Chain A
Amino acid sequence: MKRTKNIFGELQLDVLREIGNIGSGHATTALAQLTGKPIEMMAPTARILDFNEVANLAGGPEAVVVTVYLRVIGDLKGSMFFTLSDDLAKQLLETLLASSPVENKFSEMEISALNEIGNILIGSYLSALVDLTQLNAQPSVPSLAVDMAGAILSIGLIELSQTSDFAIAIDTSFLDGQKALEGHFFFMPDPHSIEKVFTSLGVPFDECS
């Protein structure tokens, strides 16, 4: 089965965007509750991207980002990333721990706190998806990295790269109300899982070739 970039029509992309909307909505609410601040969520996008375009979503392959990553396993498989700028990570730590990392060197406690934040947010994203689709899915243990976006996001592409040359990325950006502090949720479902999502939602799915 050859997979090409025009595998989905507008209807399917709309459904994926809506999935992003529901998942990110829950996660953003959780983030606002954690920080006690209004968090603004942008309209999610669902796109089919070449591998080299994926890192551009997070500011370019060399942009340094703080990222919590986990694999989703079960009927619904994929990679989830919660990516935030240095500034936003520091602000979260100040709010939650009253501590401030020195020059991007996060302490054990800070790493653990960021991991937990990522875990809560990605968990609420995932549970919204599970409720919606009634599919079985569990998160792996979350893991944190502070590094170049290309190096980090490529991990989500390795699994996909065995069967295709593109990725489906559902991306939601969010902003802290006052400052332009950015973060993203990415969900990169494995190609076969997408078919299960559509089937569970009763969305017609005719694969183009």
Chain B
Amino acid sequence: MNVVKVGMADLNVARSPDKIRTIGLGSCVGITLYDHVAKIGGMAHIMLPSASLVKEGLNPAKFADTAIPVLIDRLVRMGVDRRRLIAKIAGGAQMFPFAGASDIMRIGPRNVEACKQALKNAGIPLHAEDTGGNWGRTLEMDCMTGKLEVKSFNRGVKLI
């Protein structure tokens, strides 16, 4: 069993019995897609809602609206049936509660909304989420089961 790592603004795929993990998510959102028959899953760690926010979209894994289609393509090439894919998301915290918060400070909730919209556009059902709050999260999906473990400092471990 290996643990496949996903960095910030990165995405990757794995098959059973491997796990796939991303660590220290704050306002970023981790998205997992999973096919329970093929037992193959993918994860993206996005930072921003939309590639249209920037003048040059350098890295598609950085944005909710571009990461999800790329992740689906990668999974389909590994042999999943995209009609079986289900999604889970976690993260999107607001780490620092500033008074008079700018758009950047509210980026967590905006990332969550953008992920939901992108999943909807791709026709993938969202089965679970653990989003919001003001704490960081580490995610690990088990490709054997599709269970997503969400670990936080001071808040224990949650399986979604």
A62 CB to closest chain B CB (Å) equals 5
The reply to whether B134 and A145 form a contact with Cβ atoms under 8 Å apart is yes
B95 contacts which of A55, A61, A64, A145 (Cβ < 8 Å)? A145
B1-58 residues at the A interface, CB under 8 angstroms: 7-10, 23-28, 47-48, 53-56, 58
B93: chain A residues at CB < 8 Å are 151
Complex Cα spacing A159 to B47, Å: 10
A152 touches B (CB below 8 Å): yes
How far is A109 from B119 in the complex, measured between Cα atoms in Å? 43
Residue from A141, A161, A165 with most neighbouring chain B CB atoms (10 Å): A161
How far is it, in angstroms, between the C-alpha of A105 and the C-alpha of B137 when the chains are bound? Answer: 18
Main SS class of interface, A? mixed
Rounded to whole angstroms, the CA-CA distance of A159 and B24 in the bound complex is: 18
Which residues of chain A are within 8 angstroms of B154 by Cβ–Cβ distance?
104-105, 146
Determine whether A95 belongs to the interface, using a CB cutoff of 8 Å to chain B.
no
A147 lies within 8 A of B59 (CB): no
Interface positions, chain A 61-75, Cβ under 8 Å from B, are 61-62, 64, 69, 71
Chain B neighbourhood of A164, CB < 8 A: 58
Residue A150, interface by CB 8 Å? yes
- A-chain residues with CB within 8 Å of residue B9 when the two chains form the complex: 51, 161, 165
Residue in B closest to A163 when the chains form the complex, CB atoms: B54
A97 within 8 A of B: no
Nearest residue (CB) in B for A64 is B153
Chain A contacts with B in 111-152, Cβ cutoff 8 A: 140-141, 143, 145-152
CA distance in complex: A55, B23 (Å): 10
Pair A157/B134 contact, Cβ less than 8 Å:
no
A79 to chain B: closest CB distance in Å?
Answer: 10
Q: How many Å from the CB of B22 to the closest CB on chain A?
A: 9
Interface string of A51-63 (1 = CB under 8 A from B): 1100100000110
A88 to chain B, nearest CB (A): 17
Q: Quick check: B153 and A147 within 8 Å, CB to CB?
A: yes
B24/A148 in contact, CB under 8 A: yes
Within 8 A of A (CB), among B110-148: 134-138
User: Cβ of A151 and Cβ of B99 under 8 Å apart?
Assistant: no
**Known interface pairs A147-B95, A161-B47, A161-B48; A155-B26 also in contact (CB < 8 Å):** yes
- A157 to B107: give the CA distance in the assembly, Å: 12
> Which chain B residues numbered 51 to 82 have a C-beta less than 8 Å away from chain A?
53-56, 58-59, 62
Question: Is A158 close to B, CB under 8 A?
Answer: yes
Q: How far is the CA of A150 from the CA of B153 in the complex (A)?
A: 12
In the assembly, what is the distance between CA of A154 and CA of B54, in Å? 18
B97 within 8 A of A: yes
Whether A152 contacts B136 in the complex (CB less than 8 A), given A55-B24, A143-B96, A161-B62, comes out as: yes
Q: Which residue of A lies closest to B54 (CB)?
A: A162
Closest partner residue, chain B, to A162 (CB atom): B54
Contact between B55 and A154, CB atoms less than 8 A apart: no
> Cβ of B56 and Cβ of A2 under 8 Å apart?
yes
Given contacts A69-B95, A151-B26, A162-B54, 7 further A-B contacts (CB under 8 A): A52-B7, A61-B24, A62-B23, A147-B136, A148-B26, A148-B136, A158-B27
| Residues in chain B within 8 A of chain A (CB atoms) | 7-10, 23-28, 47-48, 53-56, 58-59, 62, 93, 95-99, 102, 104, 107, 134-138, 153-154
Mind listing 9 A-B residue pairs with CB under 8 Å? A71-B104, A147-B95, A148-B136, A154-B25, A155-B26, A158-B27, A161-B62, A162-B48, A162-B53
